[in-house]
Amino acid sequence: MIVVTGGAGMIGSNIVAALNAEGRSDILVVDDLTDGHKIANLADLAIADYADKDEFLPLFEAGAYGPVEAVFHQGACSTTTEWNGKFMMEVNYAYSKRLLHACLKRKVPFLYASSASVYGGGSVFREEAEFERPLNVYAYSKKLFDDYVRRTVFGTEHSQVAGLRYFNVYGPREAHKGTMASVAFHLFNQIGRGENPKLFGAHDGFEAGGQSRDFIHVGDVADVNLWLWKRGASGIFNCGTGRAQPFRTVAETMIASLGQGEIEFIPFPDHLKGKYQSFTEADMSALRAAGYNGAFRTVEDGVRDYATWLKAQPSS
């Protein structure tokens, strides 16, 4: 049995899809389906069972699920604009600690979702505490758990524990995320409604549309997760491409893929000033040193693939 928490979410469901592609369907998906729209991410996938996130943890701690080969812990509140710190710390920090210790006790490989948001507005994106300056409660909850893992696990004898700091993930199975979905998803829908795709204007020293991120296709993210598990590598690893590209390139690729639209620039919103990463670029040295030599899609290739997938959906 393989456990995927947040398995009905974007990254979790793509991990399930990647496992299915390898012939694995003995998968327990753990999630919170209060928003039932997320079942669309599981409808075409093969799993063995489902458990609610609140019911799962005490049962897993008690060994009720029998032998477990790995836990891919992707479940979290990922809304970066959520400022209820009590809720965020309960869901992202306290829950993760309990699950971590349950895995350590049973020697179950534990691969979890961290986030590049821990780097905040910094200019160095390397997995070291000196470069981590979270700008919001979500990012802080992720940094705090990384710090907890560093302090209590690494440097001791332990089963596999690997954290992946996801950069800007885009791709299939993210429609349920609403405002938190990728810019590629929003641009696709804007063009589909007959609107021009919209990007932020000049801000923070960047020209209009020039703010740049390390955009990584979710299929590549799933590949890294499965590789790390099979490799048995422990550590905290950036999960990006190592290549920053501007939002303008995302928009231009989507326009070319759909054959219509012209970029429209809008003023940078006041509520994001001082809380926004205008540039991210993963230092991929740690993952490469662990032996990963897989290629990552460029924005041009990844967004084109994603547009093709979105066009094939019955209701995008």
CA atoms within 13 A on the CB side of 31: 25
Mark whether 50 is an active-site residue: no
Is residue 140 helix, strand or coil? helix
How many C-beta atoms lie closer than 10 Å to residue 267's C-beta?
9
What SS3 class is residue 264?
strand
Tell me the C-alpha distance between 119 and 143, whole Å: 9
Which pair of tokens denotes residue 172? 């299939």
**Given 53, 177, 198, 292, which residue is catalytic?**
177
Report residue 263: phi and psi, to 5°: -60, 135
Distance from C-alpha of 62 to C-alpha of 39, rounded to nearest angstrom: 28
CB-based contact 14:171 (threshold 8 Å):
yes
What is the C-alpha separation between 276 and 93, in angstroms, rounded? 22
138 is catalytic: yes
* Annotated catalytic residue, options 138, 170, 276, 306: 138
- Angle of helix 183-192 relative to helix 247-258, nearest 10 degrees, comes to 40
Pair 137, 117: CB distance under 8 Å: no
Beta bridge partners of 28: 3, 49
8 Å CB contact between 169 and 182: yes
Which residues are marked as active site? 138, 177
